[in-house]
Structure 1
Amino acid sequence: MKIYSTVLLLFLGTFCFAQSVINNYKYVIVPKQFEKFRSENQYKTSTMVKFYLSKQGINTFYDDALPLELDSNRCLALYTKLDDQSNLFSTKVAIVFEDCKGEEQYRTQMGSSKTKEYVKAYREAISEAFNSLSNFQYTYAKAEDNTPVILNFKDDVKKLPAPPPPPPAVEPEPEVVEDTTESTQEPQDKEKSDLLPMPEEQTEAITLQDAVAEVAENEPVFLGTLYAQKTETGFQLVDTTPSIQFYLKETSLSNVFVAERKGQTGLLFLKDDIWIFEFYQGADRIQEELQIKF
């Protein structure tokens, strides 16, 4: 019982530490190619790390598509690395978070897998490593300047000076009327030109459709776990509401279905043990990753 309590306290302490550290940063950056790998996104490591960070609600970007804000202040972000301690018998990785100075701020637990297939092994190991953030709630805690304001009245005026005496009365001279139409018109026109309203700054509106297209272009969208229910022609997929999200029709190929969802028609197929829904939105081909239980 004492050992159980110690492990629980250690876990809670690690979780709270992660919460306090990551919430201090506005972005988390994932490299397209981790160190020690020979090619970009080898074994889908970059895709999986970005997927699990985005799933936690963290503002995650690849290192080749940084937010413009980081051009002036790189310290707004944490930068991920993969601590790969794999050997001939197992795949072992931990995700390390460093600040803009390269100093380690947090690392996850070590995830491992004994699967021989590299893509599946790294997916299992990374998934287990992210168990450290399973209950993590991301909320960016913007640093505020809490320096107290000190008021100094040392040089304030203690007594108002006496008002100056009024100037002596001067009789006004007779006004000479001249034809100043031309000279008067020019400053009036100048004054009017000075008062022209400034053009309003226009900002480009970003629609929900554009945002979805941008997300789909970078990464499959995670919709949560769906549950398959048998029908006459295949299956229907429902969520936990429950609400029907997809209708599936069987094809002559195993693990390949014709999928329909609210006016969208595409293919649902199994790739590397991941269900992918592929469809066209205009001229763009989009893939969404689904988690299905049959």
Structure 2
Amino acid sequence: MRKLLTALFTFGVIFISAGQSLNQYKYILIPETYEFTGEVDQYRLNSMTKFLFEKEGFNTLMKTEDKPADLKQNPCLGITTKLENNSGIFVTKLVLKLEDCYGNVVFTSKEGRSREKDFEVAFQEALREAFESIKKLDYLYDSSASISANIPQPKQVEIEEEPEAEEEVEEDIQEIIEEESEIILEEDTESYESEEGVNRYRYAGKIYSLNETEEGYGLYQENASEPIAILIETEGGKSFIYNSLTNQGIAYFDSQDNLIVEYFSRQENKKVLVKYELVD
């Protein structure tokens, strides 16, 4: 019991110090491709990173997007996401890192792990576990603490495991975090829904709605509380990164405002084009 309290106290101190450090950054910059992946948004890691940060109240930008005026003037308002792949033969391992405008690592998450055999499932599970470190930060941007490009480089803050914490202590903490994350997920999925300006589409005899979000759109089947896919804006809104539970590709609107989705089907081993027709 004493070790459990010691571990909880230590983790709490670490999370608080890291949270205070990140509060001075206004933007999270996310690359469209990580160093260990060979394709844009491979395994949906990049879009999932954006989604998870948005859920925790961070203002995110894909690195290819046009930067806001304040970020252009002061690049140190933003920090860049990095994913470190430490995977072995049997276990997928990811560590989430954040780098400041000087290239210094200012945040390192705990290592997320997965023993799933499917690469996409494994990488996503490991990312979600690594992201538990972010959830505990209680991030809130503090403009009075913002970093300017001409001040000394900030000190690195890392999330490290408590050496004296035993395996059962970590499991207890993980169970608590998982319970909290389920509650957060149920609450935050509602943020994708919008009562106004919702376009309706028909595909395969079913009705879908396209709800605008800060990063693009959420595609919902009628009466569903969670999106079946998310569309992340690129190229100034001319096209979108399309991500569903089973497929990833691109999406865009045709001249009649129908939603067109293109992706490569591994099961059919061919390119698939889906047309969601706008309902008048």
- 1:175 is matched with none
Unaligned ranges ≥5, structure 1 = 146-207, 224-234, 240-244, 247-254, 256-269, 274-279, 288-294
**TM alignment of 1:130-141, pairs within 5 A:** 130-141=131-142
Give the equivalent residue in structure 1 for 2:115: 114
Alignment of 1:140-219 (within 5 A): 140-143=141-144, 209=197, 213=212, 215=214, 217=216
Q: Which residue of 2 aligns with 1:292?
A: none
Partner of 2:54: 54
Structure 2, unaligned runs of 5 or more: 147-195, 199-210, 229-243, 248-253, 262-280
Greater helix fraction, Structure 1 or Structure 2: 2
The equivalent residue for 1:228 is: none
Residue in 1 aligned with 2:101?
A: 100
User: Which residue of 2 is the match for residue 187 of structure 1?
Assistant: none
Note if 1:285 corresponds to 2:259: yes
Cα distance per residue 1:12-54 (max 9 Å; x no partner): 0122122102111110101001112211111111111111001
Quick check: 1:120–1:272 contact (8 Å CA) kept in 2?
A: no
2:119 aligned partner, one-letter code: Y
Match of 1:129 in 2: 130
Rounded Cα–Cα distance in structure 1 between residues aligned with 2:67 and 2:213: 14
Equivalent residues of 1:28, 1:80 under 8 A apart: yes
Confirm whether residue 65 of structure 1 aligns to residue 65 of structure 2: yes
TM-score, normalising length: structure 1 = 0.53
Change (3 A) 1:214 1:131: closer
Letter in 2 for 1:21: S
Q: Distance in 1 between matches of 2:212 and 2:86?
A: 37
Change (3 A) 1:141 1:40: same
**SS at 1:67 equivalent:** coil
Q: CA, structure 1 residues 50+20, in 2 after alignment: closer, same or farther (shift >3 Å)?
A: same
Q: Residues 33 and 42 of structure 2 are in contact (CA less than 8 Å); yes or no, is this contact kept in structure 1?
A: yes
Q: Equivalents in 2 of 1:128, 1:144: separation in Å?
A: 29
Indicate if the aligned counterparts of 1:216 and 1:286 stay in contact, CA closer than 8 A.
no
Deviation at residue 9 of structure 1 after TM alignment = 1.2
Deviation per CA, 1:125-184: give whole Å up to 9, x if none. 001111112244332101269xxxxxxxxxxxxxxxxxxxxxxxxxxxxxxxxxxxxxxx
**Cα distance between partner residues in 2 of 1:144 and 1:20:** 9
1:214 Cα deviation after fit: 6.0
Match of 1:158 in 2: none
Structural RMSD (CA): 3.5
**Sequence identity, in percent?**
28
- For 2:258 and 2:109, the matched residues in 1 are separated by 36
| TM-score normalised over the length of structure 2 | 0.55
Q: Is the 8 A contact 1:98 1:106 kept in 2?
A: yes
Q: Which has the higher contact order (CA 8 A, sep 6+)?
A: 2
Displacement of 1:110 in angstroms is 0.5
Match of 2:274 in 1: none
Q: Aligned pair 1:86/2:60, yes or no?
A: no
Q: Equivalent residue of 1:94, what SS? A: strand
The answer to whether the 8 A contact 1:27-1:60 is kept is: yes
Residue 166 of structure 1 corresponds to none
Pair 1:79–1:42, CA change in 2 (3 A):
same
* SS class of match (1:138): coil
Match of 1:272 among 215, 227, 246: 246
CA contact (8 A) 2:113 2:125 kept: yes
The structure with the largest alpha-carbon Rg is 1
Which residue identity lines up with residue 272 of structure 1 in the other structure?
A: T
Secondary structure of the corresponding residue to residue 50 of structure 2: helix
